[in-house]
Structure 1
Amino acid sequence: MKKLLTASAFLTATSLLGMVGNAQAATISALTGYSTMGGASTGMQVRVTFADNTTSTGVWSAVDFYSGAASADGWTLFQSGDTFGNPWTFSNNSSKTISSLFINAIAGSTLFDRTNPNPGTTGSAAGWDFTPVSGSSPTSFTYSNIVNLVGQPAVGDLYAALTINWDSGFSTGSNLSFIADTDSAISVIDPSNPQPVPVPAAFIGIGLAGAFLAKKEISRRQKSHKA
């Protein structure tokens, strides 16, 4: 059962610079659905870059049907339940400060589904942009590698990868809880090793207005589940 976030959860978030990078594209043959659980993204690649420019990579694996995680060298990324409304948790228990987190979702036959355009790609339903809920909020986030269905142009809501950046660092002992909706895909034609190449898109204000719109999206999505 979905855990629904209240408006108060969004008051802890700040305004972030959202970006998109379309240097490469990825093509899929179909979407399997839009209620993607944490346990459905086995193989997704997660890379952490530390403040000293060294990196650490983990591979996503299922904990159970609902939950999944990736971890390495003292950091952990965990998610449980439908990613539309159920938060991810990123924890740094390493001995180093982290500067960025890169999630190559398409490596696990998973895609990030953004709030707009809505409706977006056929079969994707409503999406939800990266939204900090609690913890050490990042400076910016970048969606990269726009995704299209084979034989159709990209609509602009689906992306293969997400990068989260902290200009001042994500220090040892820090945690971040965030929303980032995902969908599941089959027959990935071109995973193309997504690399973020940011192009400024827009400032996304996160507050009461964002919470109100998000709750409307949840209500609409719940109705589509029941239909």
Structure 2
Amino acid sequence: MKKFHGRTLGLAFATLFAGSALASPIITFTDGVSYTTDSLTGFTTNGSQMHGMSITTCFITGACEEIIWDGTVGMASYGEARSSNWLLSVNGDTFGNPFTFETLNGDTAITSISINGRPGNTVFDVILDPVLSPGSARGNPFTLFGSNPDLANYTVNVNYTDRLAIGGVFYGDLYTVMNIDFGGQGFTGSFRFITDTDNNDFAGGSPIVPVDPNPVPLPGTLFLFVAGLAGLGLRRKLRK
């Protein structure tokens, strides 16, 4: 069981509190850009271990803001991304401890939050059971934690993308980016959520280049292709 007994206890508390949530998130998955690694470097991940993640929020005005996750703010298992407009933080192991998001400026409404774990060697593990990827353990997809009254009138859409394969095989549970949006509305207030994370050394991995099923020939390739057809036509004429 992932993260041993302490994690199981945390999950039990999460389940207890999540029952009173006012919104039911819509969760989807897309392949995006795929990455591969030989093996994960850990599956017990806390706030300080995600140092370097990129957090991008977009506002109702159309502007966006990127803040880098800071895992060195002085608490052993705490990390945060903070701007003058909002704060995203977590303290402890992410399997059972919630992230907290809150707006700090009542005049600034947030339409979306994107968390890119790759710069912080962080991966989202989205399947509780069974354990799929080698070197991983039990995971948790996005789950609201607590009552979250500020979300009462919002649609919460969560999309995981940019999957991670182990040894070139994608097992269906690991993604490197999580996007949250509020159905086109501008959100102000606070909410808490669980989403489990693992660790991976992306400096040691390499991106998988997507294969286009219908590639467009390059000019030089196209010329050779046409020349080949012309040669075949001339050969047939000479035979006749």
Does the alignment reach a TM-score above 0.5? Answer: yes
Percent identical among aligned pairs is 28
Q: Any idea what the Cα deviations from partners look like across 1:1-21, whole Å, max 9, x if unmatched?
A: 657215431112232211112
- Does the 8 A contact of 1:83 with 1:180 survive in 2? yes
Partner of 1:36: 45
Deviation at 1:26, TM superposition (A): 1.6
The higher-RCO structure (CA 8 Å, 6+ apart) is 1
- Does the 8 A contact of 1:115 with 1:127 survive in 2? yes
Deviation at 1:168, TM superposition (A): 5.5
Find 1:104's aligned residue among 103, 116, 121. Answer: 116
Structure 1 alignment gaps of length 5 or more = 193-227
d(CA) in 2 for partners of 1:22, 1:128: 18
Find 1:15's aligned residue among 18, 24, 35. Answer: 24
d(CA) in 2 for partners of 1:122, 1:89: 30
Partner of 1:56: 65
Find 2:174's aligned residue among 142, 155, 158. Answer: 158
Matched residues, number: 190
- Does the 8 A contact of 1:117 with 1:155 survive in 2? no
Structure 2 SS opposite 1:8: helix
What amino acid does structure 2 have at the position aligned with 1:171?
Answer: F
Partner of 1:184: 199
Task: Say what the alpha-carbon RMSD is for the aligned residues.
Answer: 2.0
d(CA) in 2 for partners of 1:170, 1:184: 32
Deviating beyond 4 angstroms after TM superposition, the runs of 4 or more aligned structure 1 residues are: none
What amino acid does structure 2 have at the position aligned with 1:34?
Answer: F
d(CA) in 2 for partners of 1:60, 1:7: 27
Return the structure number with greater strand share: 1
TM-score by length of 2: 0.73
Structure 2 SS opposite 1:61: coil
d(CA) in 1 for partners of 2:117, 2:202: 14
- Does 1:118 pair with 2:130? yes
Return the structure number with greater helix share: 2
Q: Any idea what the Cα deviations from partners look like across 1:112-146, whole Å, max 9, x if unmatched?
A: 00125621101110000100113244521000111
d(CA) in 2 for partners of 1:6, 1:48: 26
Deviation at 1:179, TM superposition (A): 0.1
